[in-house]
Amino acid sequence: MKLTNFWGHFCTIHIHKARVMKNCFRVGLIKQGLLHDLSKYSLEEFLPGVLYYQGNRSPNAAEREDKGFSKAWLHHKGRNKHHYEYWIDFTTDMSKGLVGHKMPLKYVIEMMMDRIAASKTYKGKNYTDASPWEYYIHSKNYMVIAPETRKLLEKLLLMLKNEGEKKTFFYIRHLLKKGDY
């Protein structure tokens, strides 16, 4: 493992976490901001992150290309409720198989902040408010996500794209005061 990969990965996850924290604080999700992605500092996630670090995309993608799956990602999404994959489970009707279950509002908002921060981190100066929407579109058809969660996520991503952060964050604060979606 290269020392430059160690520091590069450490700085990337630290900057990402700081961006999520800042935006969570802006909408009133203090606890979400403080606790966001702490598992990325665990050995199970940090070491593969260093090994597969490239600086311009998630090391999980490189690990997945190398091994056919990402052990670090499986660890991460199983411990972080702001990922829709955390909420995939069987229903009581086994004929329906695995389905996405409705995410609590605070985790949908944290997911939104995560997408904004990841886009800013990896796109750098090429980031626009449309970047999180563009990233979402690439995987939309493959996502196992509850319909109501998808609807809210898309609404927020399109609002960000079309109306900017200020208006979107204002709307999010209103949603959080209301308490549900």
Distance CA 164, CA 36 (A): 23
Distance CA 31, CA 90 (A): 29
pLDDT digits (tens, 9 = 90+) for 114-165: 999 999 999 999 999 999 999 999 999 999 999 999 999 999 999 999 999 9
Tokens representing residue 96 in the block: 């329906």
Q: How far apart are the first and last CA of the chain?
A: 45
The reported pTM is 0.94
Rg, Å, the chain Cα set: 16
pLDDT digits (tens, 9 = 90+) for 59-110: 999 999 999 999 999 999 999 999 999 999 999 898 989 999 999 999 999 9
